Amino acid sequence: MTLLEIDLKKLEYNYFSLRKKLNPRTKMIGVVKSNAYGSLSGPIAQKLVELGIESLAVAYASEGIQLREYGIQIPILVFYPPIESFKEIILHNLEPVLYSKRSWKEFVHQVSSHKKTAYPIHIKYNTGLNRIGFSTQDVEWVIEELKNSPFEVKTIYTHLAQTESPKPDIKTENQISLFKEIMQKHDQSVKQKQEYHLLNTSGVFNYPEYHLDWVRVGIGLYGFANHRSWNESLQPIAQLKTNITQIHEIKTGETVGYNSGWKAAKNTRIAILPIGHADGFSRPYGNGKGWVLINGRKAPVVGNVCMDMVMVEIDDINCAEGAEVIVIGEGSRADEMAENAGTISYELLSAMGNRIKRVLKK
Ligand SMILES: *Cc1c(COP(=O)(O)O)cnc(C)c1O
């Protein structure tokens, strides 16, 4: 059976490892979107709360509601809320990120009609990623609107396009300098100190001089930091394990899988595993791009990945039906396999399907 083992001790290790890098006054937003990067958002969020994290973030309201229902009471940012989810955000005491004039006006309307005041919000500016965010020309508009708004601005931020690129990086420098101007304008407009943030996990490692008031860490909590040497201070929290369902002896010239995706060049053995593209072990891991570990040795995927199963060549690896298989774990890193298949650890992890049973190691 395929199991995803999630080690909360390693989460704790990563949390403190990241925390130690921060300026002592910098607070942490733990990003637990997409089921905590494919793991298990409730227990992960709960553990982060116990460790003392100041805030959490999800992408969409439904994910925040799930956490509230799990009993999480600390602030939860919603990074990408469509306007249709604003009502639910208020009902569950979530903190939306406002990113456009349209989202601003609609949230003013919703907050007012719920008769709320000083509702916590976050403001996002687009400084060059060109995803969501107020344009840099909107700062004056935002500042003016804030004067009579029913909001309490918790934080103001932007998102960088390439924090893992080697320094100096012109694009990042441009984004930071635009954000500094935004910070200055906001600071000048009010008496109380405003709180700002810029950085994701790679940014925490690459830009220690810009930790500011908050950082938004996701992948780092789960053990990856997009750079070999940064990875050294972290431990992957997830191990994906399964067992061999069946073994076949294959003769030279026989083919394996749909569309005869692979043809044996010699007599060999293959193992059939109960995981497929419906579980997030996607087609790009087929045809030797992906692998598993059996008895400490790498067995490459042969042929195309099926929806529910995958075939690997075990050749002379000493193993029998039922043997344990490590898909992702020590010796088979998610970031390495992802890179080999032309994607990134974020996608491999967050795509882990619901059919995979999660087991917590405490
Ligand atoms: C997902 C996300 C993050 C976390 O990024 P990591 O690279 O996983 O640390 C930070 N900020 C925003 C806006 C995000 O969407």
Give the pLDDT of residue 141.
98
Domain 8-223 sits in which CATH superfamily?
Alanine racemase (3.20.20.10)
In sequence order, what are the beta bridge partners of 291? 300
Phi, psi of 304, deg, nearest 5: -85, 145
DSSP classification of residue 351: T
Q: Is there a catalytic annotation at residue 33? A: yes
Ligand 1 geometric centre to CA of 193 (Å): 24
Nearest CA owner, ligand 1 atom 15: 79
Within 167-312, where are the H helices?
170-189, 201-206, 228-231
**Torsion, CA 105, CA 110, CA 115, CA 120, rounded to 10:** -70
Give the pLDDT of residue 77.
98
The predicted model scores a pTM of 0.97
User: 302: which 2 tokens?
Assistant: 């042969």
Q: Angle at CA 359, nearest 5°, toward 282 and 333?
A: 45
Asked if residue 232 lies in contact with residue 249, where contact means CB atoms within 8 angstroms, the answer is no
Neighbours of 26 (CB within 10 A): 18
> What digits encode the pLDDT tens for the residues 110-136?
999 999 999 999 999 999 999 999 999
Secondary-structure percent of the chain, ordered helix, strand, coil, rounded to 5? 35, 25, 40
DSSP classification of residue 329: B
Buried b (16+ CB within 10 A) or exposed e, 265-274: eeebbbbbbb
Of 258, 298, 357, 361, the active-site residue reads 258
238-361: which CATH topology? Lyase, Ornithine Decarboxylase; Chain A, domain 1 (2.40.37)
Ligand 1 geometric centre to CA of 109 (Å): 29
Ligand 1 geometric centre to CA of 218 (Å): 6
For helices 41-51 and 8-21, the axis angle rounded to 10 degrees is 50
In the chain, what's the furthest Cα-to-Cα distance?
Answer: 78
Give the pLDDT of residue 103.
98
**Ligand 1 pocket by Cβ (under 6 Å):** 31, 33, 79, 159, 200-201, 216-220
Ligand 1: residue of 31, 158, 335 to mutate (most ligand atoms within 8 A of CB) is 31
Q: Is there a catalytic annotation at residue 119? A: no
* pLDDT tens sequence for the chain (362 residues): 999 999 999 999 999 999 999 999 999 999 999 999 999 999 999 999 999 999 999 999 999 999 999 999 999 999 999 999 999 999 999 999 999 999 999 999 999 999 999 999 999 999 999 999 999 999 999 999 999 999 999 999 999 999 999 999 999 999 999 999 999 999 999 998 999 999 999 999 999 999 999 999 999 999 999 999 999 999 999 999 999 999 999 999 999 999 999 999 999 999 999 999 999 999 999 999 999 999 999 999 999 999 999 999 999 999 999 999 999 999 999 999 999 999 999 999 999 999 999 999 99
In angstroms, the CA 91 to CA 140 distance is 30
Start and end residues for every CATH 2.40.37.10 domain found in the chain:
238-361
Which amino acid is present at 228? R
Start and end residues for every CATH 3.20.20.10 domain found in the chain:
8-223
**Torsion, CA 20, CA 23, CA 29, CA 33, rounded to 10:** -60
In angstroms, the CA 42 to CA 35 distance is 8
In the three-class reduction of DSSP (H, G, I as helix; E, B as strand; rest coil), residue 237 is classed as coil
Give the pLDDT of residue 315.
97
Q: Exposed, middle or buried: residue 316 (CB in 10 Å: 0-12, 13-18, 19+)? A: exposed
Give the pLDDT of residue 60.
98
